[in-house]
Amino acid sequence: MVSIEPAAAEAAPDTTTDTDTDAAPPQAEALTPPAAVWTRKDLLDTDTLSAEEIALILETAEAMAEVRERPVGRVATLRGTTVVTLFYENSTRTRASFEIAAKALGADVINLAAAGSSVGKGESLVDTVRTIEAVGADVLVMRHPSSGAAALAARHTDASVVNGGDGAHAHPTQALLDLYTMRRHAGDLAGKKVVIVGDILHSRVARSNLWALRAAGAHVTLCGPATLLPRSLRALAGHEGPGGCEVTSDLTEALAGADAVMALRLQRERQEQGLLPSLREYVRQYQVTEERLARANPGALVMHPGPMNEGVEIAPEVAHGLRSVVEEQVTNGVAVRMAILYLMATARRR
Amino acid sequence: MSALVIRGGRLFDPASGRDERGDVLIADGVVRAVGGALAADGAEVVEAAGCIVAPGFIDLHAHLREPGFEQKGTIATETEAALRGGFTTVCAMPNTEPTPDSATAVEGLLKRIATDARVRVLPVGATTAGRAGERLAALSELAEAGCVAFSDDGAPVEGGGLMRNALTLAGALGLVVAEHCDEPSLSGKGAMHEGAVSERLGLAGQPAAAENAAIARNLELCELTGGRLHIMHLTTARGVELVGRAKERGLPVTCEVTPSHLFLTDAAVAGDGPAPAYDTSAKVNPPLRAEKDRRALLAGVNAGVIDAIATDHAPHAPEEKLCEFDQAPFGISCAETALATVTTLAARGELELDMALRALTLGPAEAFALGNHVAGIGTLAEGAPGDVTVFDPEERWTVDPSRFASKGRNTPLAGMELRGRVRAVVVAGEARRIEEAAHV
């Protein structure tokens, strides 16, 4: 377990000098480094993270959660670090979560909104990213509607890129905060059964969770309407034994023995695209209800990456019920994102 | 009179079945003699020892981009690329601005070709006005102006009735309708092949069924009308099967495959690294498919079901491909790597070299009946046009797009070592480019 000495951390604003910007600030030294060391420039997905790297993030997040629980709730560890958020898609909670996380570490935060797509409206994504780097960004948090956009950005900047969601590809910080939340309640996830239900095909949350949960040894069942199920993910994840993956359209069956169920937001445009006969049909078969949850293990967690369509993918009484950890996910998101920003910024200083 | 002797190569002529060592004598732009030891006073000599000497390659499907899209390529740059790739004839696809849908537009194009082209360029006219798929282009006028086929290129003729009429009228003119077979309501906004890789990457996919359904419809219309149908860039196993059966039934159908689809699969989009690359240079339409499709395409060439290997050479300006995958334009710049991918596949035992060479020469000539425009094209016999490609099937080289003649550097093969290289190309009797190694 890592820990931050409150005294050192809170004294930091006075002790950090301008001449000392290259060296790790004293507050950073107050962290007891775990065995693994973060060496990555970017965090684009969970798919290539080792179990050790995931453990490092989650342990660091524990320390950040402690910081958040203190009266002041912030340190100056990342003073002098500039974090830029660049969002090409609307987002309230992810963006706010990153901003609060960065500020809680003492970083400077600049929020840039990019309406619509970059191409055809002037500046290309690559040019935008280069510009942001040129003005002095250390860490770029990016959300973009195109799968692979974060990887493209990362290839063209020396700044560290944190993927805040790219198309249907990846949302690694969400997956890591989900893992963190599950671990807090369920402990070791090896052999645990997690059900993700909804529009899996278009879900970056489902994909990144699949890889993260696989690394943690959990078994994942992906469940949703047949038109919204990427069936090949089963083979990609390996479907035998722990760390495996099942793909099914039968939610009642899927929930049997589940330790956690994660409902995904259903975009209404799926109905317009003809992928669903109607919202009613979806609700009938895939809404997470108390009745269906009866098949899950006692104490099974109910999760949602937000924002929720209550009454669509999740029944209101479940969303706010005793098993729901939805609000806690949001709170944990700040600690996990602090951990990620901390690890990436300190890796840059090395 | 200018004379040229190509000396000591392995002569390959798919029309006659000739495959033997010997010389080729070309004079006044025409092949005068083939085989044995030939000589002519004062003739320029191209040494071809260790090389294969074949009829000049014919590309049924090239995008020269001019007029209208000169930032991607020009007639000069893209025909130079074709030349370096061993192609002595290219059929220029009509996705230019203006669209060659009238004699006036074609005449303008032919003027530019006359001054700028490094190889023989045969224009393909649009099937429908403005390639908009609403009404037919001036087909007879286009035929008279010199178009060798009709095609709406990347815009499939969606209406079945319109396609029926196109096949009927083109057939009466003795010309083929070359079709990009795609059912748009199925392919939608797909940026790559729909399958395990697209699901993994979270990219919208085009199912093989979108192509297969259109092939099936167009084969029905081919049978209904008796008009000649050419299926462009076939990419699916099922497509090969459908065309094979149609040919068995005697339908007037031909098809082509690109070297890219013979060589690569949808895995190229993800790349080789641990994290997905989203390589926009591997984004092409129709998309790179699954391995089972690639194998079926290879088998289709080997069995002669696939008539032609056509490049679908599609150069783009570098900045156009330097963007998000789903927003990048489709296309691969492959004129300069086409032969090498084919010979590399032959060296691996995946392609039969004689069938592949047939598909680069006689096959395409017959598919578009190009002999009606240039007598003897695609053959290496006395009286054939002096179009010859000399290549070393063994030479290894590494693809470096910065050295391309094409303006398009968009290749997923950058950095890859290939086997087989063009040494000399003769166009209409003129050795327009000879690699250093072949100069004696």
* Contact between B176 and B229 (Cβ < 8 Å): yes
Query: Looking at residue A273, what is its pLDDT?
Result: 87
Tokens representing B383 are 């009286």
Mean pLDDT of all residues in B178-205: 97
| Helix runs in chain A, H state only | 6-15, 26-29, 51-69, 93-104, 125-134, 149-155, 172-186, 204-215, 232-237, 251-254, 269-272, 279-286, 290-293, 316-319, 326-349
Structure confidence by residue, pLDDT tens digits, B249-282: 999 999 999 999 999 999 999 999 888 999 999 9
Find where tokens 């006659």 sit. B16
* Distance from the A11 Cα atom to the nearest Cα atom in chain B, whole angstroms: 41
* Residue A241 binned pLDDT confidence (cut-offs 50, 70, 90): low
Give the model confidence (pLDDT) of A132-178 as tens digits: 999 899 999 999 999 999 999 999 999 999 999 999 999 999 999 99
Quick one: pLDDT band at residue A9, thresholds 50, 70, 90? very low
User: Between chains, do B324 and A232 touch, taking CB under 8 Å as contact?
Assistant: no
Amino acid residing at A58: L
Does the pLDDT of residue B211 top 80, yes or no?
yes
pLDDT for residue A239: 53
The pLDDT value recorded for residue A240 is: 54
CB B56 within 8 A of CB B384: no
* Peptide bond between residue B286 and the one before it cis (omega within 30 degrees of 0): yes
Cα-Cα-Cα-Cα torsion A90, B319, B330, B315, nearest 10 degrees, comes to 170
Quick one: average pLDDT of B233-256?
A: 98
- In B, which residues are within 8 Å of A236 by CB distance? 196, 199-200
CB contact under 8 A, B323 and A124: yes
Contact A144 B274 (CB under 8 A): no
Q: 3-state DSSP call for residue A323?
A: coil
pLDDT digits (tens, 9 = 90+) for B23-32: 999 999 999 9
Q: What pLDDT, on the 0 to 100 scale, is given for residue B1?
A: 55
**B-interface mutation test, from A146, A199, A231, most B Cβ less than 10 A away:** A146
Which of A113-117, A188-192, A335-339, B293-297 has the least mean pLDDT?
A113-117
CA distance A206 to B225: 50
End-to-end CA distance of chain A, in Å? 22
pLDDT, average across residues B291-298: 98
What separation, in Å, do the N-terminal and C-terminal C-alpha atoms of chain B show? 22
Q: Please name the amino acid found at residue A136.
A: G
Asked if pLDDT for residue B340 goes beyond 50, the answer is yes
**pTM, rounded to two decimals:** 0.93
Who contacts A203 (Cβ-Cβ below 8 Å, separation ≥6)? A168, A196, A264
Which residues in chain B are contacts of A171 at CB distance < 8 A? none
Which residues face A161 on adjacent strands?
Answer: A140
CA atoms within 13 A on the CB side of B129: 4
In the predicted model, what is the mean pLDDT of chain A? Answer: 88
For chain B, what percent of residues have pLDDT higher than 70? 98
How do residues A259-293 score in pLDDT, each as one tens digit?
999 999 999 888 888 999 999 999 999 999 999 99
What are A28-66's pLDDT values in tens digits?
444 454 557 899 999 999 999 999 999 999 999 999 999
pLDDT of residue B152: 98
Which is nearest to A182 in space by CA: A315, A340, A58, A2? A58
Identify residues of A whose CB sits under 8 angstroms from chain B CBs.
44-45, 47-48, 117-120, 124-126, 144, 146-149, 151-152, 166-170, 201-202, 204, 207, 230-233, 235-236
Probe site for chain B from A44, A156, A161, A232 (most B CB atoms < 10 A): A232
User: What are the pLDDT digits (tens) for A190-228?
Assistant: 999 999 999 999 999 999 999 999 999 999 999 999 999
Q: Annotated active-site positions of B, please?
A: 312
CA angle B309, B310, B314 (to 5 degrees): 145
- Say what the pLDDT of residue B183 is: 98
Cβ–Cβ contact B270 with A under 8 A = no
pLDDT at B144: 98
Q: Under an 8 A CB cutoff, do B202 and A124 touch?
A: no
Q: State pLDDT tens for residues B58-81.
A: 999 999 999 999 999 999 999 999
Structure tokens at B157: 């003729």
* Chain A residues close to B194, C-beta within 8 Å: none
Assess whether pLDDT exceeds 60 at residue A295: yes
C-alpha span between B46 and B37 (Å, rounded): 13
- ipTM exceeds 0.90: yes
